Structure formats: C-alpha cells, structure tokens
A = this chain, B = another copy of it.
Amino acid sequence: MAEQPASVAVSTVIFGIQDHGGTAKVHLPLVRRVREPHLGRWALPGGPLRPDESLRDAARRNLADTTGLDAAHLEQLYTFGAVDRGAPDRVVSIVYWALVRTEVAATTRDDPNVAWFPVDALPPLAFDHEEIVGWAVRRLKNKLGYTQISHALLPEEFTLGQLREVHEAILGRRLDPANFRRRAEASGTLTPTGAHQAGARNRPPALYRSTVREELLT
C-alpha cells in the first residue's frame, strides 16, 4: 500500500435488449447515486478496485452487485483518467462493457436505485459517464460488423429474425432479411437445433444455437 496521486476504480457499461413499444431496443442499467458528488444522479455501476481482484473480476462484480446478473460477454473498453473528472479526488476509471442475454436481463433484482434506460433516451448522467457510454455504444456498433458478438444478447436458442432485430436495434436501421440470413449462415457460427418456433401467425422460423467461442470475439 502506497500513498498515491490517484485512486483506481472500475466501472461497467452493461448492454441488454429490451422491448420498447413493440420493437427491440438497446438498454442499459444505471445506478442512482446515494452520495455526493452528483447525489441523486444516475451513474454507471462501478466502484473502487479491491486489492485482491483482477480488473475483470471487478467489472463482473459491478454487474452482480447492481443487477444480480451474469454477463455473456465482458471486455475492457477504455481507461478514463483526466485530471478533473468531477470528483474531489483524482480517480482513474478502467471501464468494461458487458452484454447480458435478454431473458437474463428481465430478471434484474429489484432495487429502487437501479433502472434500465434505452441508450437513445438516457437521463443526465454523473461525472463523464455520458462520454463513456458514447464510447461503449460506438464499440458495440463496430464489433457487430466483424464478430458474432450479437449472439451474446440472445437466449441460447434463437431465430434469425430475432438476431436480425438485435442488429437493427444496435445499428438503428432496417436490414434486408434475405441478405442477413445468408451472412449469418456464411459465418459458420450457427447450428440449427432442428426445432421450429411455433405460435406466430406466420411460417414457423427455425431455431439456431450459437457456436462462437468467447475467445474469438476479441
């Protein structure tokens, strides 16, 4: 333990898909601050790094502490360490971003100081957290293009229509179903379960299971 010019914190931007007026939208959970500074404002889950935990473990702990959830994907985003970030003492924040599956996100532990917001309609945030969320959203959009990261937002089994909805929610535009299907199939990361999803008032779509390895998403 040494006297330091800056303390180390870890925060996490958590993304999940939720229904918002009939269409899937990207949401994220925020925590209402119960201390100064920025008391009462919404902020990203986070807190000081503990001496015996890795950065990644700290991020996972943020997730568990605030939502009780488990991440399907977790990855370092960026480190923010400007001299004045809105706190009285200097804090260097290592920020992670996480993806949780839809059905998991729905089971968020009840807490009056935790709530999910659509990323395109966030309340004013504490510190420099709006900038941080901006970085995370950009990264999410980018990674969508060259990895199969979107699978981590869906349940174990899903239809190509659901997968496409996720992409449309993140990119903010409609995608051609035919071309999307071919792309998805060509990725070689989907295996049909053989089952079909009944119930809709149209042709029952095939169910798929993702076969991507977490290690390949870097």
Contact = CB atoms under 8 A, between A and B. Distances in A.
Contact of A4 (B8, B53, B78, B81): B8
A13 B5 CA distance: 23
Interface residues of A, number: 26
Given A8-B4, A8-B6, A79 B94 contact: yes
B94 A49 contact: no
Contacts of A48: 5
A176 interface: no
Contacts of A8: 4-6, 8, 81, 92
For this chain, the copies found in one complex come to 2
Contact of A49 (B3, B51, B78, B92): B92
Given A1-B5, A92-B8, A49 B81 contact: yes
A196 interface: no
A160 interface: no
A5 B83 CA distance: 20
Interface in A64-101: 76, 78-79, 81-83, 89-90, 92, 94
Nearest 8 pairs between A and B by C-beta? Answer: A5-B51, A55-B81, A4-B4, A79-B79, A6-B8, A79-B94, A4-B7, A8-B92
